[in-house]
Structure 1
Amino acid sequence: MKLYELCGDDKRRFSPYCWRTRMALAIKQIEVEAASVGFTEIPGICDGAVKTVPTLETDGSVIVDSFEIARHLDEVHAANPLFRGEAAEAHCRLIQGWADTAVVAALASMIVVDVWSVLRPQDKDYFRTTREGRFGKTLEEFQAGREGRVAGFNSLTLAPARRALARAQWLGGDQPDYADCILFGTLMWPHVVSDFPVLEDGPLMDWFRRCLELMPDEAEVKALLAA
């Protein structure tokens, strides 16, 4: 299996969606061949058949989207399931919807300039043009005042996860499942690209470190565990 992942100028992997897949692979104890690509290289992978990463090539098939990759991993490797039944998959869909809207949007307003700063030179114009078109303002204007948004991000945006993790070790209950992968990958995004602290101490930070400890050999994780 070959996994295409988004990378920056120094090869650091920062995509929240790719980190979801990385944690899923760690839970299932599956190793893959890794291929790092920049934004402007994506149209050239898999013979131009895909537009986003993560993308998994396996046995002649191309699987796009982190959630679909997780479902495929469970189908072909039954051990250490990411979805423990239909109800669990529905639960993970809910977590994904919350993370992809509320959490990603809040994080983008606090780290988008930091993301731009770690990109390869050939990807910076693409990123700035597409994101400023989406936001209707410059990256710097969109991120301005981020210090005043941290408290609300922790107390309100992350409240569902914080409350759940005050009662259980994992979002999946007594062991991690794909819900944990979704939120972990999302929160790896700021931790990999920025020194700006977005996560306050407490049950959620403790959970985040438990997630890191599932994959201690990843270069980006080593740096965070050593901090």
Structure 2
Amino acid sequence: MSRILYSLRGADGTAPFSPHCWKVVLALRHKGLDFEEKPVGFTEIPKLENGFSKIVPILRDGDRLISDSFAIAIYLEQAYPDRPSLFSGKGGMAMARFVEAWALSTLHPAVTRIAVKHIHDMLSPVDQAYFRESREARLGATLEEVVTGREAEIAAFPEKCTPIRNMLKFQPFIGGNEPLFADYIVFCAFQWAALTGNTGLLDPNDPVAHWFERCLEFVEKG
């Protein structure tokens, strides 16, 4: 059975940077499933799989097509129950839903405001035009105007990580002793920042920075 993951790329085709695509990469690795990753530009997405989805990630698993990172994770959990669990039960899935809602409402807007101009500059000209129009409409400001608040966003970022920092007083991962999909949701927000050239958002001694390194070791080991 062939398994293809369509993800997002910049102009040079390297370092796919989408946090949602990264979540699926880590979910597939967690499950120990082989796959081929095919990164595409923003404007190429509507052409994929006969217009199956307006967004990536898209996973083709044999004759099945699934889009949306959380939907893909649920599919993998149900299709491969004999592989390591991404949720460790219904409670873990409910926890991951909450973590995703928090990440999307708190971390993602912050990283967007920090990284948006960097992301634009990574893209091909045709994707830059699409990205600028769509993001400026979403943000209600030009990319250059957003950049003027970047340093303030960076300064405020550690405070946004307080819930994770408090949780780490009791366990090494959100999932407990080992990472689950809930960890990957948050990890990929940080990975998104790093892969778009925005490192050093946390003090190296911050417990959240140590958690990120543990996740990175787990991912690389897998």
After TM superposition, the score normalised by the length of structure 1 is 0.91
Which residue in 1 is equivalent to 2:134? 130
* Structure 2 equivalent of residue 119 of structure 1: 123
* Structure-2 separation of matches of 1:198 and 1:126: 28
Deviates more, 1:38-47 or 1:83-92: 83-92
Contact 1:19 1:186 in 2 (8 A): no
Supply the AA of the counterpart residue of 1:174: N
Query: How far apart are residue 106 of structure 1 and its match?
Result: 1.0
Q: What is the rounded CA distance, in whole Å, between the counterparts of 1:191 and 1:133 in structure 2?
A: 25
From the superposition, tell whether residues 114 and 14 of structure 1 become closer, same or farther in structure 2 (CA, over 3 Å).
same
In the alignment, the residues of structure 2 paired with residue 111 and residue 81 of structure 1 have an alpha-carbon distance, to the nearest angstrom, of 32
Contact 1:52/1:64 (<8 A) preserved: yes
Aligned equivalents of 1:64, 1:176: Cα separation in 2: 23
Give the Å deviation of 1:162: 1.4
1:39 paired with 2:42, answer yes
| 1:77 corresponds to | 80
Aligned AA (1:27) = H
Query: Is 1:208 matched with 2:212?
Result: yes
Superposition deviation, residue 217 in structure 1: 8.4
Cα distance in structure 2, aligned partners of 1:77 and 1:169: 26
Matches for 1:175-186 after TM superposition, within 5 Å: 175-186=178-189
- TM-score of the two chains, using structure 2 as the length reference: 0.92
User: What are the Cα deviations for residues 159-192 of structure 1, in whole angstroms up to 9, with x where unaligned?
Assistant: 1111112321111011111100100111111100
Question: Are the aligned partners of 1:19 and 1:184 in contact in 2 as well (CA < 8 Å)?
Answer: no
Shift of 1:195: 3.9
Name stretches of at least 5 consecutive residues in structure 2 with no aligned partner: none
Q: Distance in 1 between matches of 2:125 and 2:215?
A: 31
- Deviation by residue 1:51-110 (Cα, 9 ceiling, x = unmatched): 111110112111010001111111122221001111111110000001111110111111
Offset at residue 41 of structure 1 (A): 0.2
Runs of 4 or more, structure 1, over 6 Å off, are none
In 2: Cα distance, 1:108 partner to 1:18 partner: 16
Q: CA RMSD in A?
A: 1.6
1:13 aligns with 2:16: yes
The 3-state SS of whatever aligns with 2:219 is coil
- 2:54 is aligned, of 51, 56, 62, to 51
Residue equivalent to 2:161: 158
**Contact 2:8–2:17 at 8 Å: present in 1 too?**
yes
Alpha carbons 1:5, 1:13 under 8 Å: kept: yes
Q: Secondary structure, in 3 states, of the residue corresponding to 2:20? A: helix
Write the letter of the residue equivalent to 1:211: C
Distance 2:169 2:208 in 1: 8
Gap regions ≥5 residues in structure 1? 219-227
Provide the secondary structure at the position in 2 that maps to 1:207. helix
- For 1:159, give the aligned amino acid: T
Q: How many residues align?
A: 217
